[in-house]
Amino acid sequence: MAETKKYVRIKKAPHEASWYATKIGQVFEVEHEGPTYLIRTGPNHLSAIRKEDAELFVTENRRPKIGERVLITYGITSSGDYKTGDICTVRSVVDIYGTITVKEHGNYVIAREYEVIVNNEVKNEEADGMGIDLNAMGYDELMAHGDAVMEAIKKRMFQEGFRSAKQAQRKLAKINTEKSAQARRDEIVEQSKADVEKLSNYGDGVRYVTGTGSVATCKVEFVVNSDKRAVVALLKGLRTGKVYAKGIAKAAPDDCFNVHIGKAIALRRALGLKVPDEYLNAPQPTEVRVGDVVRSTVDKSKEYVIAKGEKAWCDGMAGLSSMAAKYGRIINDSREEVGE
C-alpha cells in the first residue's frame, strides 16, 4: 500500500507579523496535525499554521491513473510552465516509471516531481450512523422520498454514461498524445540533422573567431560515446589541427539518447550559439522501431537492439513483436546502423 502524506498550501495569514504572511501559495509537508498544522522550519523547530489559513492535501507516492490530480512536491523543470505547489490533472501515463503528461501544460512530469492527491480524509459526517426507516414515513413523505430516489437514479445513470464516454475519450486522447509526442520527436531529430549539416558546411570550413579576434577556419569532428550517452563536438583548425573550441552534450539519466540531437547541441555549444529549447526538452519516444536500443524492465542490466524479423535473444537482439520491444524502455533511438 502506498505511503500517505499530508501537505498544506498557505491561503492567507491572520496578520502581517505571522511567519507565513509572506508565504501565501507555498506548499509545506505536515509533520504533525492537531489543533493546528505543524510544519518543520528548522532541524529542531516546528512552526504552526492555523487550519483556517491553509488548504490540506492528502497524497500517495504512487503511479497515478488518468484523470487523477497530482501535487507538484518537487518541481525540477526550468521551463517555468509549472512549479512546486501546482496541482495538475493527469492526461496520460507515458511509461512504467510514472512519467506523465498533464492537462495544464505540454511538459513531461517525472515521478519524483509529484505525488497523487487522494480523498481518503473526506467523510460524509451527516450520513454516519443514519438509516432510512420507510415504515415510519407517512404517505406524502414516502412519495416525496420516492421522487427524490428516482431523480437520484436518473442522475446516476446519466453520470455513469457520461463517465464511460469520458473514459473512452481519455483512451483516445492518450493514443493521440503518444502519437503526437513521437511525431514531434521525429521532427526535432530531422531538424537537428539539418542544423548540423548547415553549421558544419560553410564551403571551405567553419569560421571560428578565436579569443584574440582572429578567424580560424576549422573542420568539425564529433566524438560519440553511446555508453556514456555523450557527444563532443571539436572545432579543429584545417591547417594547424589545433582544437580551438569544443562543446559537450550529455543525455540526462531519464532521457533517451539520440546522437543527432546530441551533435546539434554539442556543435552549437562549441560555436557559442544558443541551443534551442526543443533540443533540450525533446519528448521521449513512444514507438519502438528497428534499430532502437531497449532496456529490459525486468533485468535492467540487459539491453537489446530491435531488429527486423525475430533475431535470437542470445545475440543481444530482439524482434519488434518481442516482450523486450513491447515492455522495454527505449534508451537510444539514434538508429545510425540501420541507415535511417
Q: Is the pLDDT of residue 331 over 70?
A: yes
Secondary structure letter of residue 111 according to DSSP: G
Give the pLDDT confidence of 13-52 residue by residue, as tens digits: 998 889 999 999 899 999 999 899 999 888 888 999 999 9
* CA separation for the pair 140, 309 (Å, rounded): 75
For residue range 238-263, list pLDDT tens digits in order.
888 899 999 999 999 889 999 999 99
Q: What is the pLDDT of residue 60?
A: 93
pLDDT tens-digit map of 257-316: 999 999 999 999 998 899 999 999 999 999 999 999 999 888 888 899 988 766 555 578
What is residue 256's three-state secondary structure?
A: coil
* DSSP result, 289-321: -TT-EEE-SSSTT-EEEEESS---GGGTEEETT
83 or 211, higher pLDDT: 83
Higher model confidence: residue 177 or residue 30? 30
- The whole-angstrom separation of Cα 41 and Cα 16 is 18
Give the count of beta carbons closer than 10 Å to the beta carbon of residue 335. 19
Q: Is the pTM of this model over 0.75?
A: no
In whole numbers, what is the pLDDT of the chain averaged over residues? 83
Query: pLDDT tens digits, residue range 103-114?
Result: 988 888 999 899
Beta-bridged to residue 27, according to DSSP, are 9
Percent of the chain scoring above 90 in pLDDT: 45
